[in-house]
Amino acid sequence: MKRRAFMQSAALLAASGISNAALAATGDGEPPKEKARVKRYGELGKTGLRISDISFGAGRLTSSALILRAMDRGMNYFDTAPDYGQSEDHIGEALAKSKGRDKVHIASKYCQYMPYTAGKSHLQVGSTQAEYIAVVESSLKRLKTDYLDTVFVHALGESTDFEKEKGRLLDPEMLAATETLKKAGKIRFLAASSHGPNHMEALMTEAVRSGHFDYIMPAFNFMKFPKVPEVLKEAKARGVGVVAMKVLAGAKEGNMTFDAGQFEQAAFKWALSHPEVNGLVITIQSAQDLDLYLPASGQPLTASDQKVLDHYAALYDSDYCRTGCGDCLGACERGVDVASILRYQMYFADYGDEKRAMLSYAALDTNGSACAGCADATCEQACPHRLPIRSKLEAAHRSLNLPFVA
């Protein structure tokens, strides 16, 4: 009801002797319900940053308007990257419109601008200082800002070679470029992230102990394997911040009968109930996501929340490939990257990110077709979670190997 019509109706009702209380009881006179917003901000290690406990992952951002809506509802940390489509451009548009750059924290990646293309976009060992500096300069132009709050060495653990991944984490060229960029005022902090599938805990521990990184962003959820909390505790003890990602454990809640948002909010509260976690990043794709997710901000984990998570775990315990686990990877003689394939299938089937999933699958040296005729299924024997890996890989190949036109 528009304000003028409401005032006219209220006047007529008053003249007829109907009370305001009676009007409110009908529901017609009630003001619109206040929209959920951020209620808590976490101290991010020793950085001095206070970030919204539920923060904005911009991996599939399609407009600047959504960033402005999120800012209006209290979100102040935005995670983007050069290979997240037009994400940086849209955030730049929002920053220009809001004129509130000093009120938000922008994190991007040491990454080439390769929106929706196959291949490795993250800078690898062998990149020069000039190349590291150049990708940041390009991000700054797209973001229409003079500085990044944080730049990440992102997606560590994609290779099974630990020394190779450690080399990327602690690349002297990257560290030298970081110092140059800091001195120039173009970045403030350095961070590292990993969602596996290889060596996630070991690489995040290296980052924490190195003294070079201000915070880390590991995958962390209620179905995680047990070593991650050890990493988080050491990070807290050393003053290294923690931002959690992949908190929805595959986002497979389609077969659950709970109210909309109930599972997501329970998963968020679980992650944020750990004192080592300063905040979490979740992909936001619509204003509806803000409505579903933000009621969890600043709220404690309850018994009913845990019941929801237990129900999810019972449904998907032997179906969900734990991000970062990788226990099966050495068991396959044919070199099939089981964990990566199942992650791409998760992006395809559960996250709705079909294009990126198919392109990533196409870039693999060995895909699920190598499983045809395999009688041993040694990967299944090595899996600590009893997943039917062979049938899952066959299904992934059918989904991800479809003809694709760019």
Percent of the chain with pLDDT over 90: 58
- For residue 12, the SS3 value is helix
Mean pLDDT of 46-62: 96
Q: What domains does the chain contain, in order, with CATH numbers?
A: 41-311 (3.20.20.100), 329-400 (no CATH)
pLDDT tens, position by position, 231-285: 999 999 999 999 999 999 877 766 677 888 999 999 999 999 999 999 999 999 9
Amino acid identity at 362: A
Percent of the chain with pLDDT over 70: 86
CA atoms within 13 A on the CB side of 149: 19
Q: Please state, rounded to an integer, the average pLDDT across all residues of the chain.
A: 86
Enumerate residues 6+ apart whose C-beta is below 8 A from 3. Answer: none
CA 246 to each of CA 143, 165, 222, 283: distance values in angstroms, whole numbers, following the listed order: 25, 20, 10, 9
CA angle in degrees (0–180, nearest 5) for 353-355-357: 65
Contact 294, 73 (CB under 8 A): yes
Alpha helices in 115-171 (DSSP H): 129-143, 162-169
Residue with token string 């004192």: 275
List phi, psi (to 5°) of 107.
-115, 130
Measured CA to CA, the distance from residue 244 to residue 376 in angstroms comes to 37
Enumerate residues 6+ apart whose C-beta is below 8 A from 281. Answer: 55, 56, 57, 77, 79, 217, 243, 244, 245
Q: In the predicted model, is pLDDT for residue 226 greater than 80?
A: no
Query: Measuring CA to CA, which residue among 189, 233, 239 is closest to residue 45?
Result: 239
Query: Measuring CA to CA, which residue among 172, 186, 173 is closest to residue 132?
Result: 173
pLDDT tens, position by position, 158-179: 888 899 999 999 999 999 999 9
CA angle in degrees (0–180, nearest 5) for 319-322-326: 115
